[in-house]
Amino acid sequence: MPSYSIGQAAGLLGVSSETVRRWADGGRLRMDRDGSGNRAIDGVSLAGFAKERAAGLHPVPDAVSTSVRNSFAGIVTAVHVDEVTARVEVQSGPHRLVSLVTREAVEELGIAVGVTVTARVKSTNVHVDRD
Domain of residue 109, CATH code: 2.40.50.100
* Sites in the chain below the pLDDT cut of 70: 1, 54-68, 124-129, 131
Residue 65 domain flag: no
Residue 129 domain flag: no
Residue 29 domain flag: yes
Collapsed DSSP state (helix, strand, coil) of residue 82: coil
Task: Quickly list H helices, the chain.
Answer: 6-13, 17-25, 43-57, 103-109
Number of folded domains in the chain? Answer: 2
Collapsed DSSP state (helix, strand, coil) of residue 88: strand
Question: Quick one: 87 and 48 in the same domain?
Answer: no
- Give residue-wise pLDDT tens across range 11-43: 888 789 999 999 989 988 888 888 888 888 888
* Domain, as residue range, for 102: 70-121
Distance CA 8, CA 57 (A): 20
Question: Quick one: 93 and 48 in the same domain?
Answer: no
Residue 126 domain flag: no
Please give the model's pTM, rounded to 2 decimal places: 0.57
